[in-house]
Amino acid sequence: MFGVCQWPRLKPAFRAEGQQALSGKNTRGKKACGRVKTIFLHESSPSTELHRQRFRQFSYQEAEGPREACGRLRELCHCWLEPECRTKEQIVEQLILEQFLIVLPQDIQNQVRERSPETCAQAVALAEGFVLRQQEDKQQEEQVRPVCSRTSSRHVHLVTIQSYNTSWGHVISFGDLLTSKVGGECVNLASRTEKLEQQPLESKEERNVAVHPVSGGTQRREKSHICNECGKSFTRPSDLAKHLNVHTGERPYLCVECGKSFSQLSHLTRHQKIHSGEKPHICSECGDTFSQRAYLVSHQRSHSGEQPYHCSYCQKCFSHQSALKIHERNHMGQKPYACTDCGKRFVSSSSLTTHRRIHTGEKPHACGVCGKRFIQHSNLVSHQRTHSGEKPFSCKVCSRKFAYPSDLTRHQKIHTGEKPYACDECDRRFTRLSDLITHQRIHTGEKPYRCLECGRRFRQRGVLVKHQRCHSKENPKGSEALQSSEAQIKSQFKTHEIKLEKELEDQEEEPSLILFPSP
């Protein structure tokens, strides 16, 4: 032993300086302990668990007298609980977490401690997941037994044994077991079983989708656990429990680097690669690197143009399965994501996230030229065209270019002769919504354009502009004011027109409940 100073037993927890101090010849006496203590207390940010262990494992022999022992305990407790920068609730949370881990059964405790939970919610989620896996293992153990068919004649039967889940979540597939009826005795063909046990294990994906037909047409590994919110089904209750976090919003897995939380541990693991900078997957076409293989596969479709996912309702193709799932919800009328503020529902979580910014006032996308901010990135891209003059949308018939897709759609109706807007009064049809609105004023008698000189009102803006020229001839000095008035009216009308057409487009984009869209 090291005499009075017992710090060397924590030697593995120290960094280089502490290791060197503890490896020296003079590790006895008050001075040595004081030096080690200083290194111990000032070493850079050890983990919360290490601070807790230091506090709990402190012994009276490490101090000289009761007063110093109490003072050292106080210092160690402050290092662990950090009362200077934590609230009372956070300190209570730490104490409850410690006691919760202590009272857990040893097997569960070991599993939970391996994941180093930071909060009670994380510890509870880990413990519940382990308990669910234990229950599933127990159920499957009861199902694993040879099945013998009792018949009077000699037959050979093919029987499928349920896969057996070990406590570590791996599946051991025993394959098909042949049993034969010989003289009323049920005989297992052991040699066949031994060969089958040597076959490679199933992957996780194969286990989830594998369907093995047996006599009577029954199936193995049924997805009997169904989410009541969105109808998605799972083979294991633990998988359903993880999925439910998507709807409840619970995110028990916290990134210690940036504080972002996740509903599943696998999502946290993927996210942490952002901080580590690890990008092992490289695109052979352009050299781009990715943190996940799935991202690389998805990216490679931009080079190949592959769209392997087809909508079963309208045969539209998609590059990503997630995009297909969101699209199909439009046909089925499913909107599983609800806003907690106003109750409005959405087909995708990204749409809900964007919508919530209306309530929070968040506008994360800023224009680098004028500083104007937007809720959606697409709105920012459209706005930036006012600065760049870019017109990326081209008419295939006459090659005329437009800055916005709505302008191109409106223009194409000139070539097709389409007139989708009909007047309810006289059945006259129009290419543009604004033309229909102007026409309807004939029936309503509305005259929204007023002359600022004489107060006379007009149904159409063009007629008002012609009328105002009469005043400019009578009063040449007023021509400048007239031009300003014309520009103001034109701007107001254009804004009003765009707003109306945008509302109509939003109505047309509402998901239809029919199985096949109209041609």
Residue 23 has pLDDT above 60, yes or no: no
Q: What is the pLDDT of residues 427-450, one digit of tens each?
A: 898 888 888 888 988 899 888 888
What per-residue confidence (pLDDT) applies to 37?
Answer: 53
What is the average pLDDT score of the chain? Answer: 72
Torsion-angle region of 333 (φ positive above 0: left; ψ -120 to 50: alpha; else: beta): left
For 137-159, what is the mean pLDDT? 50
What per-residue confidence (pLDDT) applies to 371?
Answer: 92
Residue 469 has pLDDT above 80, yes or no: yes
Buried-state track 278-306, b at ≥16 Cβ within 10 A, e below 16: eeebebeeeeeebbeeebbeebbeeeeee
- Tell me which residue has tokens 């290490």: 50
Between residues 63 and 195, the one the model is more confident about: 63
The CA distance from 158 to 163, in Å, is 16
Between residues 376 and 149, the one the model is more confident about: 376
What per-residue confidence (pLDDT) applies to 490?
Answer: 57
Percent of the chain scoring above 90 in pLDDT: 4
What per-residue confidence (pLDDT) applies to 293?
Answer: 84
CB count in 10 Å sphere of residue 89: 7
For 419-432, what is the mean pLDDT? 87
Kindly give the interhelix angle for 66-81 and 48-56, rounded to the nearest 10 degrees.
160
The CA distance from 99 to 249, in Å, is 27
Residue 358 has pLDDT above 80, yes or no: yes
Half-sphere exposure of 114 (CA within 13 A, CB side): 9
What per-residue confidence (pLDDT) applies to 506?
Answer: 52
Residue 168 has pLDDT above 70, yes or no: no
The CA distance from 359 to 100, in Å, is 38
What per-residue confidence (pLDDT) applies to 142?
Answer: 65
Per-residue CA distances from 357 to 41, 50, 341, 349, 373 (Å): 45, 40, 11, 13, 12
Residue 398 has pLDDT above 90, yes or no: yes
Residue 370 has pLDDT above 90, yes or no: yes
Poorest-confidence range of 138-152, 193-207, 290-304, 405-419? 193-207
The CA distance from 251 to 119, in Å, is 11
Between residues 250 and 297, the one the model is more confident about: 297
Residue of 473, 471, 468, 472 lying closest to 458 (CA atoms): 468
Torsion-angle region of 29 (φ positive above 0: left; ψ -120 to 50: alpha; else: beta): left
For 178, the 3-state DSSP assignment is: strand
Question: pTM of the prediction?
Answer: 0.33
Per-residue CA distances from 129 to 125, 162, 227, 241 (Å): 6, 22, 17, 8
Give yes or no for a contact between 494 and 477, defined as CB atoms under 8 angstroms apart. Answer: no
What per-residue confidence (pLDDT) applies to 486?
Answer: 57
Residue 39 has pLDDT above 80, yes or no: no
- Tell me which residue has tokens 């590059």: 319
Residue 294 has pLDDT above 90, yes or no: no
For 23-46, what is the mean pLDDT? 51
What per-residue confidence (pLDDT) applies to 372?
Answer: 92
For 265-281, what is the mean pLDDT? 81
Q: What is the pLDDT of residues 479-503, one digit of tens each?
A: 455 555 555 555 555 555 555 555 5
Alpha-carbon Rg of the chain, whole angstroms? 36
For 54-64, what is the mean pLDDT? 82
Q: According to the per-residue pLDDT averaged within each range, which of 202-211, 266-275, 489-498, 504-513 is highest? A: 266-275
Poorest-confidence range of 38-42, 66-70, 287-291, 512-516? 512-516
For 173-180, what is the mean pLDDT? 37
Q: Is the dihedral of CA 100, 105, 110, 114 positive or negative?
A: negative
What are the tokens at 435?
């033309």
What per-residue confidence (pLDDT) applies to 100?
Answer: 86
**What residue type is assigned to position 74 of the chain?**
R
Residue 44 has pLDDT above 70, yes or no: no
